[in-house]
Structure 1
Amino acid sequence: MAAHGTMRAVLPWVITLLWIAAIILALLLFVGAPLGEALSGFWQGAFGGRRHAYLMATLSRTALITGMAISVMLSFRAGLFNIGGEGQLVAGGLAAALTAILLPGPPLLVLVAAILAAMLAGALWALLAGVLQLYMGVPLLVGSLLLNYPVRYLASYAVAHPFRDVPSGMVQSHLVPQETWLAYFPGTRLDIGILFTLAATAFALVYSYWTVHGYHTRLNGLSADFARTVGLPVRRLTLQTLAISGAIAGLVGAIAVFGIHHRYIDGMLVQPLYAWTGIIAVLLVGMVPWAVPLSGFFFAAVQTGAAGMERAAGVPKEIALVIQAVIILFVASRVSGALSSKEGRGDGHA
């Protein structure tokens, strides 16, 4: 009986995964790609290269996607639909770069100050969305989304005019001091920024499962009305959770500045879709904290593997976006099915 129930739960996922595989195969055939070369190129682009250089690139992208996924997971588990991670990410990246450029002092002190400034900027930008909801009636879903735009344009203005590295000919800031760059692991091109992401993941695990505050936020996510009824400070929980979520997004922005680009470049945190991919990664694993890094690694591999397919078999790398769109439909169908099932059980009990 139990085995039958497990089969009924697993079978829809298996069928959907087969559909995804079939759609991806159809896309490859549609663009006329030789299947063997395309798959080989995908594998090499995601995990191969000399001294596993492409694997290092995948892990580097994993760090950013997973960081943003952890950020959004903490707010989603609290019932707070904060989709302003992109704005909080940009705020953190810009704050980190400008702090490192403008603040004099020992390199380690400058690096620490810049990271703290990035986390503070991300937290404040997330708190602004919370204030708009709690005190002005703007739904968090709307407010957090709309706040992505002003900070993006503010960052573009900052690196296009007052803080632009004019001799470079690019819309970007000056380089941060080289002494503040995050070190690479020996013999690789992977910087230690991934350790910050691992620390954020460990924090999320401890916070979600072993702290009273994490339990209260989870309770608020399950039922805000019940949380109010039992006397939990819902407003304070909301603001604290958003601040933590935004701080982690700001930290990811600092990792990108000091570990990858060594400056703030216009669009560097927006065009790769780190924040939106993080949302998909979290929903794919049902907001289970320990599974988020695995999901982040999967999506990073899809993106770097798609670039490998383009190099090896001429497959447009935009196919990675199509694959992500298919996965979004997959996630939406499963979530919709689960909600419909719950509603049906509720009607049956009524």
Structure 2
Amino acid sequence: MVGLAVGAVLIVLAGGSPLEAYGTMLDAALGGDTQLGRLLTGMTPLVLMGLGYAVAYRTGFVTIGAQGHYDVGAITATAVVLGLPLGSSWVAIPVVAVTAAAAGALVGAVAGVLKARLGVNEIISSLMLNYLVFYGLAWAVRKPLANPNGFTPESERIPEWAQLATFPGTKIHLGVLVAVLAVPAVWWLMRSTRFGFASQVVGESPTVAAANGIDVARTVITASLISGALGGIAGAIMLLGSEFRLSLAISSGIGFTAIVVALLGRRNPFGIVLAAALVSGLTLGGQAVQRTQEIPASIGTVVQAVMILTVLVANRIVERAR
């Protein structure tokens, strides 16, 4: 509510009507089948990367590397589809999913191993890995994956047989189903498995965890692998379901937006779904308001930022009250 109130004030200062602006935002997100399809497909990578952050943060592994996981997943998906003679979606999509997840997990594990074995700060290492992967992306779209007939740094369009199928009568691709299945799977992993218990103890106190026989390093590295794999799958889904070609534009900062989703969702898998819907809706709504009312689309970003600050302050107050 605080975020919406601040947004309303900014809309008035920009010369607009808050009621009309928020009405436009709501219509842009839920006003019809097309809008709902955009909302759900926009939510999908945010949900997957948000889940990855939730798993990592539960262990106290404060990574910011989902953008790198996402980018390497998209690079891998492009290389597999364009480089291997798969020829069928029944073969291509499982192969892409496995390889993209493996690539994301590998990048994630680098930061995990550096943290667990050498004590390297994971915020710094994961940020540096984001840059390394981005430079790898820039090289890939100019050299091995470049479109020989193109004028901009991008790959060829992936063939139709490798594109994700959509639900009949909609533009909602099957990647949405992956996110739907991932939510209860991660919830179960965190709540009902030995790893979930170990990750909670490690996150609360690595010293207590070690004293009780929990392998702290192994738990952190496992969390980094899972987080990276989810980010890699998110990148592959975005490529096969929405973008259809690899370019520098795919590295748009969505991995950092997923941090917002994880924090707003309070690292709860089902809360992350609601947060992803809110963030995706605000993004679509901000774009619609800019088109129709000439109000900056950044209004949606400001609302997100205020919401994050509100959640952080509320959490701090609750912790002090305890």
TM range (shorter): over 0.9
| Pick aligned residue for 1:224 from 189, 202, 206 | 206
What whole-Å deviation, never above 9, does each CA across 1:193-225 have from its counterpart, x for those lacking one? 101111211210110111122111112112111
| Superposition TM-score, scaled by structure 1 size | 0.87
> How many angstroms apart in 1 are the aligned matches of 2:3 and 2:274?
19
> How many angstroms apart in 1 are the aligned matches of 2:86 and 2:25?
45
> How many angstroms apart in 1 are the aligned matches of 2:147 and 2:318?
51
Which residues in structure 2 correspond to 1:279-290 (within 5 Å)? 279-290=259-270
| Superposition TM-score, scaled by structure 2 size | 0.95
Q: Give 1:30's aligned amino acid.
A: L
Q: What is the Cα deviation at residue 335 of structure 1?
A: 3.3
Q: What is the Cα deviation at residue 111 of structure 1?
A: 2.1
Which residues in structure 2 correspond to 1:175-186 (within 5 Å)? 175-186=157-168
What whole-Å deviation, never above 9, does each CA across 1:173-193 have from its counterpart, x for those lacking one? 112221011011111111111
| Pick aligned residue for 2:75 from 94, 97, 120 | 94
> How many angstroms apart in 2 are the aligned matches of 1:209 and 1:336?
24
Question: Hey, what does 2:20 align to over in structure 1?
Answer: 37
Q: What is the Cα deviation at residue 340 of structure 1?
A: 4.0
| Pick aligned residue for 1:189 from 159, 171, 190 | 171
Q: What is the Cα deviation at residue 117 of structure 1?
A: 1.0
The answer to whether structure 1 residue 85 and structure 2 residue 63 are counterparts is no
Question: Hey, what does 2:152 align to over in structure 1?
Answer: 170
Which residues in structure 2 correspond to 1:291-302 (within 5 Å)? 291-302=271-282
> How many angstroms apart in 2 are the aligned matches of 1:266 and 1:182?
21
* Structure 1 portions without partners, runs of 5+: 1-16, 343-350
* Structure 2 portions without partners, runs of 5+: none
Question: Hey, what does 1:54 align to over in structure 2?
Answer: 35
Q: Give 1:79's aligned amino acid.
A: G
Q: What is the Cα deviation at residue 35 of structure 1?
A: 3.4
Question: Hey, what does 1:121 align to over in structure 2?
Answer: 103
Q: What is the Cα deviation at residue 251 of structure 1?
A: 0.5
Q: What is the Cα deviation at residue 341 of structure 1?
A: 4.1
> How many angstroms apart in 2 are the aligned matches of 1:141 and 1:95?
24
Question: Hey, what does 1:23 align to over in structure 2?
Answer: 6
Question: Hey, what does 1:322 align to over in structure 2?
Answer: 302
State which drifts further: 141-150 or 332-341: 332-341
> How many angstroms apart in 1 are the aligned matches of 2:115 and 2:60?
13
Q: Give 2:112's aligned amino acid.
A: G
Aligned residue pairs total 321
> How many angstroms apart in 2 are the aligned matches of 1:267 and 1:339?
40
Which SS does the other structure have where 1:165 is aligned?
A: coil
Distance change in 2, residues 1:136/1:224 (3 Å): closer
Q: What is the Cα deviation at residue 166 of structure 1?
A: 3.9
Report if aligned partners of 2:164, 2:241 keep a CA contact under 8 Å in 1: yes
> How many angstroms apart in 1 are the aligned matches of 2:182 and 2:20?
38
Distance change in 2, residues 1:264/1:30 (3 Å): same
Q: What is the Cα deviation at residue 274 of structure 1?
A: 2.2
Report if aligned partners of 1:58, 1:297 keep a CA contact under 8 Å in 2: yes
What whole-Å deviation, never above 9, does each CA across 1:223-281 have from its counterpart, x for those lacking one? 1111100011111111111111110110001100111111212131x32x322222112
Q: What is the Cα deviation at residue 70 of structure 1?
A: 0.5
Which SS does the other structure have where 1:324 is aligned?
A: helix
| RMSD (CA atoms) | 1.6
Q: Give 1:330's aligned amino acid.
A: T
Report if aligned partners of 1:164, 1:172 keep a CA contact under 8 Å in 2: yes
What whole-Å deviation, never above 9, does each CA across 1:87-114 have from its counterpart, x for those lacking one? 1111111111111110112422222211
Report if aligned partners of 1:96, 1:118 keep a CA contact under 8 Å in 2: yes
Q: What is the Cα deviation at residue 36 of structure 1?
A: 4.0
Which SS does the other structure have where 1:160 is aligned?
A: coil
Report if aligned partners of 2:116, 2:221 keep a CA contact under 8 Å in 1: no
Report if aligned partners of 2:51, 2:267 keep a CA contact under 8 Å in 1: no
Where has structure 1 moved over 6 Å in runs of 4 or more?
Answer: none
Report if aligned partners of 2:282, 2:300 keep a CA contact under 8 Å in 1: yes
Report if aligned partners of 1:285, 1:295 keep a CA contact under 8 Å in 2: yes
Report if aligned partners of 1:43, 1:308 keep a CA contact under 8 Å in 2: no
Q: Give 1:32's aligned amino acid.
A: G
Distance change in 2, residues 1:166/1:315 (3 Å): farther
> How many angstroms apart in 1 are the aligned matches of 2:273 and 2:301?
20
What whole-Å deviation, never above 9, does each CA across 1:113-170 have from its counterpart, x for those lacking one? 1111110010000111112223333111221122111101111111123311142323
